[in-house]
Amino acid sequence: MARLTLEDVGALAGVSRSTVSRVINNAASVRPEVRARVEAVISQTGYVPNAAARSLVSNRTGVIGLVIPSHVSNLFEDPYFARLIQGVTSGAKQISSTLTLFLFESEEEEREVSPRVVESGFLDGVIVTATRPGNSLMRKIAATDLPLVAIGRPGIDGIPYVDVDNRAGAFRAARFLREKNYVRCGFIGGPENTSTGEDRLAGFIDGLAEFGTALPNNLRAFGDFSEGSGYTAMSELLDHSPDAVFAASDGMALGAIRRIQDAGLSIPQDIAVIGFDGFTKAETAQPPLTTLRQPVSATGSKAVEMLHQILRDGSDSVQPEILPVELIHRASA
């Protein structure tokens, strides 16, 4: 059977196309009895409005984009993105939108696809994640009038964003370690040119400073959030005998644990370890990892919520949101 149109449904219900349209859009000015008749026909026939026709005239597609830039493509296996996508999906469901994913694997791809993404009117708005300050993709999107929400502090003013309180979390980690009287606290950070990397470093330094402690350069090492990079970074730190380490991701913390154990040292007796993320793999680690749990899924749904608000009320109405992180105390520190 060919697909039904509004006109067909109207004919079947003995009303005009306009009336059926009104019923579907829950508009007023339809007698309850007529409405019921139309609804009956709709549910019997299984009529579903044509999305393209609808958005052609309404300029709304019910589609939001989630943009994941190329520089994280190798990190995409990190559960972070899975959770984020789950959060965004569930947020999208709330506002009866669907999610389209823009996953770039090279900067070249970013350049090519961008006009199509942005200009075709195919999207109601986009969420850009894993930004690095000055990311060109974000800058380009921001330059258009496509509604935009960033996940993580964007490098550009005036862009609404959701972030977790990386700074407070790292601060908390430092305080926790100092209160337990660890005196040589090391740090394994994420990439320095990311807001997440910067904030977790800054928060940790501040937290130590609260106790009059500094973070010497030789107790800092950096990775890319992955377990392998944590292992390598820990090797560096080991030369300077820390008695505790705060890693800016659970993955790196796990790498660090492995490195420490490979050195024949035990956790937390010789070196305490704290991670950041709160993923399941932190629970089942040996020893279970003390970590700062960030609400990843909530970040995703919050971003959708903000986007929805912008779509409704305009972008002036929204403020950045900073979601709290929580210290989970387990055996590793």
Interface positions with a copy of itself (CB under 8 A): 3, 46, 48-53, 55-56, 61, 63, 73, 76-77, 79, 81-83, 85-86, 89-90, 93, 96, 98-103, 105, 109, 113, 115-116, 119-122, 227-228, 258, 279-280, 284, 286
Q: Give the residue among 12, 76, 19, 78 at the shortest CA–CA distance from 47.
A: 12
Residues forming beta bridges with residue 189, ordered by sequence position: 222
Q: How far is the CB of 152 from a copy of itself (least distance, A)?
A: 19
85, 91 Cβ separation under 8 angstroms: no
Positions 41 through 70 that interact with DNA (CB under 7 A): 49-50, 53-54, 56-58
289, 254 Cβ separation under 8 angstroms: yes
With tokens 């008749």, the residue in question is 37
| 17-24 vs 32-45: helix crossing angle, rounded to 10 | 90
User: How many chain residues are in contact with DNA, going by CB under 7 A?
Assistant: 29
261 binds DNA (CB under 7 A): no
Question: Measured from the CB atom, is 48 or 263 closer to DNA?
Answer: 48
Question: Measured from the CB atom, is 139 or 240 closer to a copy of itself?
Answer: 139
Q: How far is the CB of 31 from DNA (least distance, A)?
A: 4
Question: 277: buried, middle or exposed (CB in 10 Å: 19+, 13-18, 0-12)?
Answer: buried
Q: How far is the CB of 128 from DNA (least distance, A)?
A: 25
Q: How far is the CB of 25 from DNA (least distance, A)?
A: 5
311 binds DNA (CB under 7 A): no
Per-residue b or e along 305-330, where b marks 16 or more CB atoms closer than 10 Å to that residue's CB? bbbbbbbeeebeebeebeeebebbeb
Question: Measured from the CB atom, is 90 or 213 closer to a copy of itself?
Answer: 90
Question: 280: buried, middle or exposed (CB in 10 Å: 19+, 13-18, 0-12)?
Answer: exposed
Residues in contact with DNA by the rule CB under 7 A: 3, 5-7, 10, 14-19, 21-22, 24-25, 27-31, 34-35, 49-50, 53-54, 56-58
